């Protein structure tokens, strides 16, 4: 019961006007901490890994830990592959047991994006209960955030979004609306809320069919998050913040315990800090008690 794809829990979230945190992890300790926080809050959860850690630690290792944790947890948990640009690797992760796959062909032409995304959708659906996320437009790094946010052509066009979703058979959709990866350099990043609202209305106006994903969660002001949820954001990706949390907690611990050689205590410090960060996100996304 606890092993789920992303779409099912996101449809519920979109209907209930809350969102699900999708937390990027690179280690088993982080993964345990993320699950602990979500269990404590009784929140549905999406754990995600980028392609690189899935190759370093191994996709089978991530899946094995995920299944072990999820099967004994009283909440629904999805394991998601984030921003994979290779169709073949998407298929390998689906084979291994990831329950949601993001094919990111957004840098290709629109036709090629459709072709690659559809190939991954068809493959994942043929395997069973695996949902697929696709992206249209450019989710930039923070260094380009303002430039991209002001460039109409770099953001997802609402009509094209509908065509993209219809022709690919996509389950969940990440339209570029000006959010960015990294840490925003300004307190008021330029985000196109109305664009998200319009796309949501066109896709989900008559019942939630294709819930929407917001990338670049780290550092978004809380009132922006609320507004993005209102506009249809049902999954928020949080990556950079957890990387900072891991490094900072490790550094803080080591700098005050330099004479100690007990790796377990470093791991415990990372877990504590990660749990706190994830709990705070769950509160902001209003998903506590929704599992
Ligand atoms: Zn992203």
Centroid of ligand 1 to alpha carbon of 261 (angstroms): 36
- pLDDT classification of 220: cutoffs 50, 70, 90: very high
Helix residue ranges per DSSP H, the chain: 6-16, 28-41, 51-53, 59-71, 87-96, 110-127, 145-150, 158-168, 193-204, 222-230, 240-256, 263-285
Report whether 7 contacts 223 (CB < 8 A).
no
- pLDDT classification of 142: cutoffs 50, 70, 90: confident
Centroid of ligand 1 to alpha carbon of 74 (angstroms): 28
Alpha-carbon gap, residue 148 to 143, rounded angstroms: 10
- Is 129 noted as a catalytic residue in this protein? no
* Vertex 263: Cα angle to 80 and 251 (nearest 5): 75
DSSP state of 17: T
Centroid of ligand 1 to alpha carbon of 216 (angstroms): 6
pLDDT at 1: 56
- pLDDT classification of 153: cutoffs 50, 70, 90: confident
Report the candidate in 210, 126, 116, 104 with the shortest Cα–Cα distance to residue 166.
210
- pLDDT classification of 163: cutoffs 50, 70, 90: very high
- The number of beta carbons lying within 10 Å of the beta carbon of residue 130 is 25
Q: Mean pLDDT score of the chain, rounded to an integer?
A: 96
Residue of 82, 171, 192, 267 marked active site:
82
pLDDT at 150: 82
Centroid of ligand 1 to alpha carbon of 37 (angstroms): 22
Centroid of ligand 1 to alpha carbon of 75 (angstroms): 24
Say if pTM beats, i.e. exceeds, 0.85: yes
pLDDT at 149: 84
Alpha-carbon gap, residue 178 to 19, rounded angstroms: 19
193-221 average pLDDT score? 97
Centroid of ligand 1 to alpha carbon of 181 (angstroms): 6
Per-residue pLDDT of 62-97, as tens digits, reads 999 999 999 999 999 999 999 999 999 999 999 999
* Token pair of 125 as six digits: 């659906």
> How long a stretch of residues is the chain?
291
Per-residue pLDDT of 234-286, as tens digits, reads 999 999 999 999 999 999 999 999 999 999 999 999 999 999 999 999 999 99
Burial, 110: exposed, middle or buried (Cβ in 10 Å; 0-12, 13-18, 19+)? Answer: middle
- Alpha carbon separation from 153 to 164, 175, 216, 260 (Å, rounded): 16, 12, 19, 54
Per-residue pLDDT of 17-57, as tens digits, reads 999 999 999 999 999 999 999 999 999 999 999 999 999 99
* Token pair of 114 as six digits: 């459709």
């Amino acid at each position: 019961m606890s092993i789920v794809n992303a779409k099912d829990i996101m449809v519920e979230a979109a209907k209930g006007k809350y969102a699900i945190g999708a937390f990027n992890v690179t280690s088993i300790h982080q993964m345990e901490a993320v699950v602990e926080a979500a269990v404590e809050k009784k929140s549905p959860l999406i754990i995600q890994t980028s392609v690189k850690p899935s190759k370093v630690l191994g996709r089978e290792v991530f899946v094995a830990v995920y299944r072990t944790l999820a099967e004994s947890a009283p909440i629904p948990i999805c394991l998601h592959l984030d921003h994979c640009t290779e169709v073949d690797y998407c298929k390998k992760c689906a084979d291994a047991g990831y329950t949601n796959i993001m094919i990111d062909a957004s840098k290709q032409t629109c036709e090629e994006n459709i072709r690659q995304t559809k190939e991954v959708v068809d493959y994942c659906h043929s395997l069973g209960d695996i949902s697929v996320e696709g992206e249209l437009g450019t989710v930039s790094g923070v260094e380009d955030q303002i430039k991209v946010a002001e460039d109409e052509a770099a953001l997802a066009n609402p009509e094209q979004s509908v065509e993209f979703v219809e022709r690919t058979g996509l389950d969940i959709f990440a339209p570029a609306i000006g959010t960015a990866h990294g840490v925003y350099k300004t307190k008021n990043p330029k985000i196109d809320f109305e664009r998200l609202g319009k796309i949501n209305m066109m896709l989900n106006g008559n019942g939630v069919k294709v819930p929407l994903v917001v990338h670049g969660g780290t550092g978004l002001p809380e009132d922006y998050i609320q507004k993005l949820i209102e506009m249809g954001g049902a999954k928020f990706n949080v990556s950079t913040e957890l990387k900072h949390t891991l490094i900072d907690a490790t550094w803080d611990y080591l700098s005050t315990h330099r004479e100690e050689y007990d790796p377990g205590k470093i791991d415990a410090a990372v877990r504590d800090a990660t749990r706190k960060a994830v709990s705070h996100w769950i509160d902001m996304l209003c998903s506590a008690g929704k599992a």
